Structure 1
Amino acid sequence: MNWHGSWLSGKLGPPTTARWTSSSPSIRNEMMPARRRMMPDADIVMESEVKYMRNLRMGWAVLIIIAVVVVVAVAAKLYMNRSGADVSQAQFQEWMQQKADVCLLDVRSAREYNSGHIAGAINIGHTEVSAHLDKLRPYADKNIVVYCERGVRARIAQKALTRAGFSSVYHLTGDMAGWRDAGLSMETPGDRPD
């Protein structure tokens, strides 16, 4: 074996002129399989680390999404319930039988109201409640029961009335959908004489 080239050229930079002139395989080629047996392949290690990091990030992303959903659900529930108290259908019917001073406020649209409503209800859309407080002032010290089709609009109106200083504002449990499902009496504008 003869080594051609400077010893320094191989150590300081790429060996441009240094080469083995022997017919035997180079030391590098002989040692490479041994190195591979001793150390895992760098590509495999990197690939497994990348997969681990992706899975770790995906796990955190899923946990964050779940946490956000839980926080939003709890906040929505608190928002819906902080406006005031609920009154059951049975309690409301008892108030009506006792001829208690109760204002029943239907905050659905006029079209929904005209298709059928609870007897004695006043119709003011949920977005118009703040603008029509003068109509409701006579009931400021009385019980006001608010309902819509499913509850969302009634809660908005209930909150607006509470902010305006009305002290006894109740939400009818089940709203119109629950009233209808229970088979309780309803009226349409043509049912009562004006």
Structure 2
Amino acid sequence: MDFVIDNWSLVLLALVSGSLLLWPALRGGAGIGGLSAAAAVQRINREKAVLIDVCEASEYAAEHAAGARSIPLGELEAKLPGAVKNKATPLVMVCASGMRARRAVAIARKLGFEQAEILTGGMKSWREANLPIERAKTEPAKPARG
């Protein structure tokens, strides 16, 4: 007990650093790894990972990462096995903020896709990394006839 009293600052430092190490697990990230936008691009280029956008179809149509396949979260369990045949294929799940993608990773892993990971920060991090984005094409307004 004398050690703890004499070295209270070291004990406090150990408690704080341990808490910081456990923080991701306490936030609900236990077991689901996350990739930065740069790491996701490397995984796509080097390991032929498939980028899966789990946003709703309207969100996907408005804006999505270039090359991403659209499988809305509600349809993922039914459509993922048909869209990606090889369960050893690395998957990168993306949505607007990362919350739906986190659930998508859990579903994909349940289906046997052990290399499913989340794009940390979602489309926001993709945009901030200045990576290519595809947007819905809007046709120019036609002049009124009259």
Confirm or deny: 8 A CA contact 1:151 1:175 kept in the other structure: yes
Aligned counterpart, 1:106: 53
Query: Which residue in 1 is equivalent to 2:32?
Result: 84
1:147 has 2:94 as partner? yes
CA offset at residue 156 of structure 1? Answer: 0.8
For residues 72 and 39 of structure 2, the distance between their equivalents in structure 1, rounded to whole angstroms, comes to 24
Q: Which has the higher contact order (CA 8 A, sep 6+)?
A: 2
1:135 to 75, 78, 82: 82
Q: Work out which of the two has the higher radius of gyration on C-alpha atoms and give 1 or 2.
A: 1
Q: In structure 2, how many angstroms separate the alpha carbons of the residues matched to 1:101 and 1:170?
A: 14
| Aligned counterpart for 1:93 among listed residues 20, 37, 41 | 41
Which residue does 2:133 correspond to in 1? 186
Q: Identity of paired residues, percent?
A: 30
- The aligned amino acid for 2:28 is M
User: SS at the partner of 1:129?
Assistant: helix
Contiguous gaps of at least 5 residues in structure 2? 1-21, 138-146
The size of the alignment, in residue pairs, is 116
Question: 2:62 maps to what in 1?
Answer: 115
Tell me which amino acid in the other structure corresponds to 1:175: G
How has the CA–CA distance of structure 1 residues 81 and 141 changed in structure 2, closer, same or farther, with 3 Å as cutoff? same
The answer to whether the 8 A contact 2:94-2:101 is kept is yes
How far apart are the structure 1 equivalents of 2:50 and 2:120?
16
**What TM-score, normalized by structure 2, do the two folds share?**
0.69
CA RMSD of aligned residues (A): 2.4
- What is the aligned counterpart of 1:126 among 51, 73, 78? 73
Unaligned runs of 5+ in 1: 1-73
> Aligned-pair distance for 1:107?
0.3
CA drift at 1:111: 0.9
- Which of 159, 171, 175 does residue 118 from structure 2 map onto? 171
Q: Structure 1, residues 69-96: CA drift from partner, whole Å, max 9, x if none?
A: xxxxx9x954731352111111122233
Contact 1:104 1:145 in 2 (8 A): yes
Deviates more, 1:116-125 or 1:129-138: 129-138
Secondary structure of 2:52's counterpart equals: strand
Query: Matched residues in 2 for 1:97 and 1:169: separation?
Result: 16
